[in-house]
Amino acid sequence: MENLAIAAAERPAIYMSAAECDALFELALSTERSQPMVCAMLMAELDRAELRDADELPDQTVVMNSFIDFVDERTGARRIVQLVYPQDADIADGRVSILTPIGAGLIGMTAGCSICWPDRSGDDRILRIISVAPPG
């Protein structure tokens, strides 16, 4: 959890609709016992999100079911994934659950932004969003 405190003031602004924030908050609460670390990570992001009407979100904002092209600045690895709810996740097909560290780190970000974020093993990654395509 140290990583959340370290980067809190340095994280880029994130945006989401109130409806999506509420749905994700309920989802996070439902996993508090089974996935406490990811739950805490997601809830911290939801708490700091700037809420807007869905049609007033900045262009290329990561929302649920959007497609994200991003690069891990530390390794140079580039990936394109779709951010999905847990029941739709399939890493082999590039569908990443919001209830993973990377999913919690990507939600609400916009193209061009970077964030220092821990992975499943607790190692920090610097994720830079290259582009975001809407759900489709």
Question: Long-range CB contacts (< 8 A, 24+ apart) of 80-85?
Answer: 83/107, 85/27
Does CATH number 3.10.50.30 belong to domain 2-133?
yes
Q: Are 42 and 28 in contact (CB under 8 A)?
A: yes
Q: Are 70 and 131 in contact (CB under 8 A)?
A: no
**Domain ranges for the chain:** 2-133
Q: Which pLDDT score, from 0 to 100, does residue 8 have?
A: 55
* pTM assigned to the model: 0.88
Residue-wise pLDDT tens digits, 90-122: 999 999 999 999 999 999 999 999 998 888 888
Residue 8, token pair as written in the block = 């809190």
Q: Which pLDDT score, from 0 to 100, does residue 1 have?
A: 41
> Consecutive sets of 10 residues in the chain, 136 residues long: mean pLDDT of each?
49 94 96 92 94 96 98 93 97 96 95 88 89 92
Q: Which pLDDT score, from 0 to 100, does residue 11 have?
A: 81
